[in-house]
Amino acid sequence: MVKNIVRDIFFLRQRSHPASKADLSVATDLMDTLKANTEHCVGLAANMIGVRKNIIIVQTQLAPIVMFNPQMISHSQESYEAEEGCLSLDGTRKTLRYNSIEIEYYDRNFRKHKGTYTGFTAQIIQHEMDHCKGIII
């Protein structure tokens, strides 16, 4: 189901709780909401649709990926300054992002995955993971 985007800064600054199999419907809501906002959205965190769970969705070149409980295992030493927008905020803001990141996460079947991401995909993942930590650009 397409959900409204939360713009309440107090809510967005709260840390998300670990996700479980009981939260699988949130993945569907994230997918539907991303699809409804596809013209100006490349990723979402569950708190952006009102759910304080550690779940994100990231639009990759191939297809959207839902990540339950993503954790950064490592990152490159190199970083760069990015200018990012967010559906929950007006305008854009500058932030630092790592060039390359290694992430562990669980898929919709709660199978564990590990992946290395670079470029724009890595930037999106970092942005959405920050949301889950209550960090707003």
| Catalytic residue IDs | 128
DSSP H or E stretch at residue 24: helix 24-36
Residue the block writes with tokens 């992430």: 103
Which DSSP letter does residue 128 get? H
Contact 5, 87 (CB under 8 A): yes
Cα–Cα separations (whole angstroms), residue 107 to 3, 61, 119: 21, 18, 22
Which tokens in the block code for residue 125?
Answer: 């993942």
Q: Considering only CA atoms, which of 12, 101, 106, 103 is closest in space to residue 55?
A: 106
Please enumerate in sequence order all residues whose Cβ is within 8 A of that of 90, keeping only pairs 6 or more positions apart, or say none: none
